[in-house]
Structure 1
Amino acid sequence: MIHREPVVQRYLFWATYYGGDPGSIRGRAVQYDIAGYAKGSYTRHEGDHLGTLRRYDREASGLRVGASLDRRAGVWRTSEAPVRDVHRGSDCGCPITIAQAEEIIVELGYGPALLTADVVDV
């Protein structure tokens, strides 16, 4: 399955996944094509689970450019990790599309509007 983004979007998203069985033949390759950023693939292991969800805001300035989702509070908090992803490559997670990020948000029990919610101060 290839996840494609139709246009360059304001937000770029990354997710980290933990656990799972790396030796399982049921692991799957995820291909992505994010316009204006990157395309490629990575492997998800059977039984893995979400670790973190991160977001880079191309229109923000100052500290609000990069954010990580605080899963317990359901808010975005300032983080330098997405900035490193943009400028140095994906060292802080796997690139995901808006559709994938929305699936994660909904699985966590939040509404899709959380994808574009403002970053809150710590």
Structure 2
Amino acid sequence: MAAQQSQGIQTLLEAEKEASKIVQQARQYRVQKLKDARTDASREIDEYKKTKEREFKAFESSHAGTTSVAQTNVDRDTEEKLTTITESYNKSKDTVVTKLLDRVVLVHNDLHRNLTKPDA
């Protein structure tokens, strides 16, 4: 009976060693799969970044002309408005200066319309 118990214990120990090997292999397999997944994900991210960068460059180059045309139009409009304002200033400045000087220099000693003379 002792031999059977010894043999049973031996069988259990061997089974435990085999199970330990299987668990270790499973852990290594899992670690390898995680590394592979990270590598694949990193590669996919890089490819996606490159694709989006190319799309952005294409969009930027297609709209670059539009920006320069718009800037040219804005500059032209600004110059036209400045010219109009300058002409208006030059045409009206003498009249405005004269009116201002008349208001300051020519003083009228009239009572204000809301002020009535006291009845004496």
User: What TM-score, normalized to structure 1?
Assistant: 0.13
Rg comparison, structure with higher value: 2
User: Higher helix fraction: Structure 1 or Structure 2?
Assistant: 2
